[in-house]
Amino acid sequence: MPTALVIAAAGAGTRLGAGLPKALAPLADGRTLLRHCLESVAAARAAGLALDAVVVLTPPAEADAGRVAAEVDAGPRLDVPVHCVPGGAERADSVRAGLAAASRALADLAPAGAPRRVLVHDAARALTPPSVFGAVTAALGTGAVAAVPGLPLTDTVKQVTPGRGGVDVVAATPARAGLRAIQTPQGFDLDTLLAAHEAVRTDPTLDAAALTDDAMVMEAAGHEVVVVPGDPAAFKVTAPADLDLARLELARRAPQEASMSQPTRPAVAAAPLPRVGIGTDVHAWAPEDAPRPLWLGGIHWPGERGVAATSDGDVAAHAACNALLSAAGLGDLGAVFGVDRPEMADASGADMLREVLRLLTEAGVAVGNVAVQVVAPRPKVGTRRAEMEAALSAALGGAPVSVSAATTDRLGFIGRREGLVGIATALVVPAA
């Protein structure tokens, strides 16, 4: 039966406090929630999950949507068409847009009126194991029009009501045995879910915003929802404390994943040297009402508005770091520094370059040269090119660094003056 997967990745992540769309928030290993989510889908595919299309819901803002789309492009191959669709202001708006895209993607795969399936998943449940995908699709295979994974509750739950003095009081204690904490992916007959969303949207007696998942939409439309076993690993990353849970789960999985990948992963030394790497870094300009200093090429640019970033946002230095790490086979900035190295939390771009140089030295690799290009209409790189080259070279122990600049002829992200890009190539050679 034709099946599509819709991944909700449009959330702002306000409660997480990451300062960027939640789907792009990194976990302890440096990989984003969305990357982990796509990898879990790839694992489910390897375990037998049948899919014909994937729809990823991106943030409404164009710049954020582009960053999510780039992460999708860089993620694992799913061997099915993947469509990025802008989400809406509310989750229900986003999901409706995703369902419409899923319907279009499956239109030519089944005769008119033939059954079609959709799985609706949250990128924030990034570590969902293949067994959960399998349990949901198995339930749909028995004829259910809606199936959701759920976990039994271990805490007693109280229903409360406002009491005197603004204090909540217990109104009822539901029987814990009959309660489940619902997860995703949630599986549905696609056309039944589309009709349910339309019925809810046009029903003046219903508050669509109060229906927090698609199972509730189906319930409101009068359909039976089957509950299958969930998994504790399919928890939703919502608050900063959830990042600690994710770190523990990744640590638990690490030995198994290492044993599975080790036989096929070549050692860095096995590849011939010299080697070339490429790196990029992109940042949007900081809001005018919340200005930040601009650091670019290892130097400060007085009077220039900086970029929105958790670091100094030096796209030239960061691109150079990524290029060097790639050339040496050591990963990338996210993998090397991530969130598990608090000592690097406030590191400048130059500091990161010095640390990358140290890592390369430990690996028996020396820097041949680095070439960096800044793509932006401002600042005018040519006025301080020599200073940038000297600063970046100094951070790399004197290795030659060249800096150039370009624009995009008023096209795209750069042409709209939304931010700037750093692109770098690096050559590394065996240490003498």
Query: Helices then strands (H, E): number in the chain?
Result: 12, 16
Give the model's pLDDT for residue 317. 95
* CB neighbourhood size of 28 (10 A): 17
| Helix 91-106 and helix 190-202, axial crossing angle in degrees, nearest 10 | 140
* CB neighbourhood size of 392 (10 A): 27
Give the model's pLDDT for residue 269. 42
Residues in the chain: 432
The pTM (predicted TM-score) of the whole model is: 0.61
- The residues facing 275 across adjacent strands are 428
Contact yes or no for 30/67 (Cβ under 8 A): no
Residues of the chain with pLDDT under 70: 255-273, 338-346, 432
* CB neighbourhood size of 48 (10 A): 10
Give the model's pLDDT for residue 46. 93
Give the model's pLDDT for residue 259. 53
Give the model's pLDDT for residue 73. 92
The full set of domains in the chain, from first to last, is 3-258 (3.90.550.10), 271-430 (3.30.1330.50)
Give the model's pLDDT for residue 191. 96
Which residues are within 8 A (CB) of 31 and not within 5 positions of it... i.e. 6 or more apart? 39, 334, 335
pLDDT digits (tens, 9 = 90+) for 137-175: 999 999 999 999 999 998 999 999 999 888 999 999 999
For 364-413, strand residue ranges (E) read 365-375, 401-406
Burial readout 380-390 (b: 16 or more C-beta within 10 A, e: otherwise): ebeebbeebbb
Torsions phi, psi for 356 (to 5 deg): -60, -40
Which residues are within 8 A (CB) of 188 and not within 5 positions of it... i.e. 6 or more apart? 117, 118, 119, 120, 140, 145, 146, 147, 214, 218
How far apart CA 296 and CA 412 sit, in angstroms, is 21
Give the model's pLDDT for residue 260. 53
Residue with tokens 């949007």: 284
Closest of 54, 95, 58 to residue 76, by C-alpha = 54
At 203, list the tokens.
Answer: 């029903």
Which residues are within 8 A (CB) of 147 and not within 5 positions of it... i.e. 6 or more apart? 135, 136, 139, 140, 186, 187, 188, 225, 226, 227, 228
pLDDT digits (tens, 9 = 90+) for 63-100: 889 999 999 998 899 999 999 999 988 888 899 999 99
Contact yes or no for 396/353 (Cβ under 8 A): yes
Residue with tokens 């008023």: 410
Give the model's pLDDT for residue 344. 57
- CA 287 to chain CA mean position, Å: 23
Give the model's pLDDT for residue 311. 80
